[in-house]
Amino acid sequence: MYEDIMGIVPPMVTPFRHDGSIDEEALRSETRYLIETAQVHGLAVCGSTGEGHTLSTEETRLVTAVVCEEAAGRVPVITGIIANSTAAVIERGRAVQDLDVAALQVTPVHYVFRPNDDAMTRHFADITTKTNLPVIIYNVVPWTYLSPQLLTRIIDEVDGVIGVKQSAGDLKMLADLVMMAGDRARIMSAVDALLYPSYALGAVGAIAATLTAVPELCVEQWNAVQAGDHEKAKQLHEKILPIWNAIFDDNLPANIRYCMELQGREGGVPRPPMPETSDVQKGPIRQALSQAGVLNRNEEMIELP
């Protein structure tokens, strides 16, 4: 059942309007594009790229419901939850419980104080038990970063934890986790700079911001790896890495939206206080996309600074 969670799973932006509301039609349009044109293998909503930390429980349900309805079972949909208490995570999980959600993607808590390993294990056990939904741990919060040893313990002790989205740039930690967890969990890469090596090491796919910025390139790379064409996969890595280098900043979701805008896709605006992409950032982003060949099909139609 959980084997369907694999391949290229873009973490979608939440298309906010300037008044803070969610543009449902833009969300539907992007869902259709990712499934029908880019041919991705799954979708993730309300994560860090979707500014899930700014969403209310009601908004989390709305975004999930819209994407699930538009996806119509064609690909699995994962709902992200970024919250600071077990109760808050359970509340949001229950809010999407009746929707066609394949799994929850849940961060460890992101406040200053770190729960110990026993408390962290209970946290995820309570979430899976009380939401009755499988959980992928989103290992991203620096001060509650979970070691491969702890992640493997949670996978072994908590039946409902089915995978890990391994973030940050430490590829050795991803390699250790793949070796320790083996086939007992779905290990997805969020090491954006090193997606190709992640796949080569055994990650079963990715849920990473770059996938939303340039989904077709990322699908092409995944397909090359699956076909054993590692020369092509490395060539695509050399196109994708400069894009990541250009977009990676504290306003990453805004920069992903700018990539979308350059390709004729509507991503809305970020929620304050996150700033929009600056003029200084726009040049390198556009250059990286152009050099990767992403804009060639759109440049005649779209004129942006």
Q: Give the CATH number of the domain where residue 54 resides.
A: 3.20.20.70
Average pLDDT over residues 247-261: 98
d(CA 203, CA 226): 12
Q: Assess whether pLDDT exceeds 70 at residue 300.
A: no
**pLDDT at 126 (0 to 100):** 98
Tokens representing residue 141 in the block = 């919060």
Residue 139 pLDDT greater than 50, yes or no: yes
Q: Let me know if residue 87 belongs to a domain.
A: yes
The range of the structural domain enclosing residue 136 comes to 2-227
Query: pLDDT for 34-55, tens place per residue?
Result: 999 999 999 999 999 999 999 9
The set of catalytic residues is: 138, 165
Is the pLDDT at 304 greater than 90? The verdict is no
Structural domain includes residue 288:
no
In a domain? residue 190: yes
Whether residue 258 is predicted with pLDDT greater than 90 in this model: the reply is yes
- 66 part of a folded domain: yes
- Which one has a higher pLDDT value, 303 or 78? 78
Question: With bands split at pLDDT 50, 70 and 90, how would you rate the model's confidence at 2?
Answer: confident
Output the pLDDT for position 302.
43
User: Would you place residue 1 in the very low, low, confident or very high pLDDT band (cuts 50, 70, 90)?
Assistant: low
State the Cα–Cα distance between residues 305 and 303, nearest whole angstrom: 7
pLDDT, tens digit, for every residue of 147-167? Answer: 999 999 999 999 999 999 999
Q: What is the pTM of this model?
A: 0.95
Q: Which range (73-77, 88-92, 141-145, 216-220) has the least confidence?
A: 141-145
The total domain count for the chain is: 1
Statement: residue 281 has pLDDT above 80: yes
Calpha distance 257→263 (Å, rounded): 10
pLDDT of 192 over the 70 cut: yes
Higher pLDDT: 182 or 298? It is 182
CB 177 within 8 A of CB 197: no
Instruction: State the average pLDDT for the chain.
Output: 95
Q: How far apart are CA 178 and CA 185, in angstroms?
A: 9
Q: Is residue 297 part of a domain?
A: no
Question: Residue type at 34?
Answer: L
- Asked whether residue 186 is domain-assigned, the answer is yes
End-to-end CA distance of the chain: 45
Going by pLDDT thresholds of 50, 70 and 90, the confidence category of residue 180 is very high
Give the pLDDT mean for 17-43: 98
Compute the radius of gyration of the chain from its Cα atoms: 18
CA–CA gap between residue 206 and residue 191 (Å, rounded): 8
3-state helix, strand, coil in the chain (%, to 5): 50, 10, 35
Residue 100 lies in a domain: yes
